[in-house]
């Protein structure tokens, strides 16, 4: 398996791990982040964490962190998972868009995302 990369739009994940692991931070929405990951999968990366992990729905939080790994070729399973995750996210966002949250609530969502991804990050450190 190749180099692992954390892809996130969560500033808390960025500040905690940017000096410890290869990390790409994007100041974009949930759906746009999934599309960035899809682009990486097309370039030969493999998903190490599921894009829709946890019971937090895509329209309930603006933050997501996903771990991928360099792969020698296109991983069909990763492509299927990320494409289906994008379709699911679009469905959720169509039904109910993400609210315009106050800063304190956004900070809480950052903590939730961090707590979901942290065990996986600790396994690859």
- What's the N-to-C CA distance of the chain in angstroms? 14
- The tally of domains found in the chain comes to 1
Q: Residues 83-112: pLDDT tens digits? A: 999 999 999 999 887 788 899 999 999 999
Residue 88, number of CB atoms within 10 A of its CB:
15
SS3 content of the chain, % helix, strand, coil (to 5): 50, 15, 35
Q: Is the pTM value of this prediction over 0.85?
A: yes
In degrees, rounded to 5, the angle at the alpha carbon of residue 72 between the alpha carbons of residues 35 and 42 is 20
Range of the domain at 67: 4-124
- Average pLDDT over the chain reads 95
């Amino acid at each position: 398996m190749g180099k692992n990369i954390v892809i996130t739009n969560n500033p808390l994940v960025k500040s905690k791990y940017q000096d410890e692991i290869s990390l790409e931070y994007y100041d974009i929405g949930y759906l746009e982040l999934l599309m960035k990951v899809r682009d990486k999968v097309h370039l030969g990366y493999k998903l190490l964490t599921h894009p829709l992990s946890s019971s937090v729905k895509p329209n309930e939080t603006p933050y997501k962190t996903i771990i991928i790994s360099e792969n020698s070729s296109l991983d069909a399973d990763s492509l299927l998972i990320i494409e289906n995750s994008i379709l699911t996210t679009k469905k959720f966002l169509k039904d109910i868009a993400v609210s315009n949250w106050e800063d304190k609530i956004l900070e809480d969502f950052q903590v939730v995302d961090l707590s979901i991804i942290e065990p996986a990050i600790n396994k690859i450190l």
